Structure 1
């Protein structure tokens, strides 16, 4: 049900199916990249993480989407990433739910991303929360949840933004042109906003797994081309 509701929120009479699928893939790549950047900053800034690091990286992803993008586009990105969580949860409903995993369950990640985005501007994002079926019990605390997220992350990010531009992200290698185009734009935007503790290389390459990850010893983010291919398959199967 949530997949259909979010799809209707994103629907546009001038948006062709292939463009809707492209946006779905691109938006999820953006969110994944921001998530991996969260791991990089936790490592480089030696940040205390009171909880799961994966949760902290998810939170930063939503904050950066709001920071970099205009409100309407940011809403579309969060809607598409939330949709991906819902699709993944539905696909694995009869399989191992993965409660052992370091990441939260897909539907937990779904509701957290929706809540954090809604909580930044409840008056103007009420319809978004309704479309995503955010329960009123959770919605009531989302402004406070969002403020806590900002207080936790921006105390460190503010120092990086005060000196920008400076030490930068750099796209080092890319085997997928679509992914490279998406990530290059994010790198440009982030480099204008933040002076990083040390340079971070970003590689887009085949790695025999549907994944993206940060390698601390190399100060490198890897976006696996298999992940992009998987997102295309999800978009097509969902008939976006």
Structure 2
């Protein structure tokens, strides 16, 4: 992926999550059953990775106190897909595409699967409908390289009305991942944050290291943490 050397925080985030994957259990390191065809093994492994990283997305949101606009389940899906792009960046392009398309294919099949009434996701649920998750994931994959994957909307059934903006959706998600990698920190120590002071209609921002308990807003309009206030 272009610019990989320019994002050391993303590298650190990748190494952290790879370590968590190894700690997930002995099953994560077991070789695939040799009797299964390669495309089935790929389908199972890719969707297993997505599911695990989706749950790790919830962990990152909680432990790093990440801001979320919208539903957390949608954010966890986006984190999972973007982290998979990061993990697979050293794979051959064809294998990387095949793994991402296996995830798209799973959600397409899941959205088309007939369900009993009690199995259907209600409109008020925290999860998006399976159809929505399919289109969201397909859009992120397509948006990662719209020129090279120009065939994906037709094959996956992604309407062109949505596909037109998928490159922008991918860039938004990548920007959020970059911000997370730069701003995230161990909750036991604190986090990087920005103290913003507004005085005489002028805004001044100062980076600092802030424990969660120290974050506050002062009567004079300053917002941030005590270490910043001390400066």
- Please state which band the TM-score falls in when normalised by the shorter chain: 0.5 to 0.7
Q: Which residue of 1 aligns with 2:135?
A: 111
Worse-matched range after superposition: 146-155 or 43-52: 146-155
Q: Are the equivalent residues in 2 in contact too, given 1:119–1:145 (CA < 8 A)?
A: yes
Report the CA distance between 1:18 and its aligned residue.
2.8
Residues 88-133 of structure 1 deviation map (CA, whole Å, 9 limit, x = unaligned): 2222445343124321111111111110111121111112232112
Give the CA deviation at 1:156.
1.4
1:81 is aligned to 2:100: no
In structure 2, how many angstroms separate the alpha carbons of the residues matched to 1:108 and 1:67?
A: 23
Aligned pair partner of 2:121 in 85, 91, 98: 98
Q: 2:80 aligns with which of 61, 78, 103?
A: 61
The equivalent residue for 2:155 is 131
Measure how far apart 1:142 and its partner are.
0.6
The list of structure 1 runs, each at least 4 consecutive aligned residues, that deviate by more than 3 angstroms after superposition, is 92-96
Change over 3 Å in CA distance of 1:128–1:92 after alignment to 2: same
Q: Distance in 2 between matches of 1:198 and 1:26?
A: 31
Mapped partners of 2:36, 2:151: distance in 1? 24
Q: Assess if the C-alpha contact under 8 Å between 1:115 and 1:138 holds in 2.
A: yes
How many equivalent residue pairs?
Answer: 150
Q: Over alpha carbons, which structure has the higher Rg?
A: 2
Which residue is 1:170 aligned to? none
Structure 1, unaligned runs of 5 or more:
1-15, 161-195, 200-240
Distance 2:171 2:183 in 1: 18
* In structure 1, C-alpha distance between the alignment counterparts of 2:69 and 2:128, rounded to whole Å: 15
Task: Tell me the residue number matched to 2:186.
Answer: 197
Alignment of 1:23-34 (within 5 A): 23-34=42-53
Q: Note the aligned Cα RMSD (angstroms).
A: 2.4
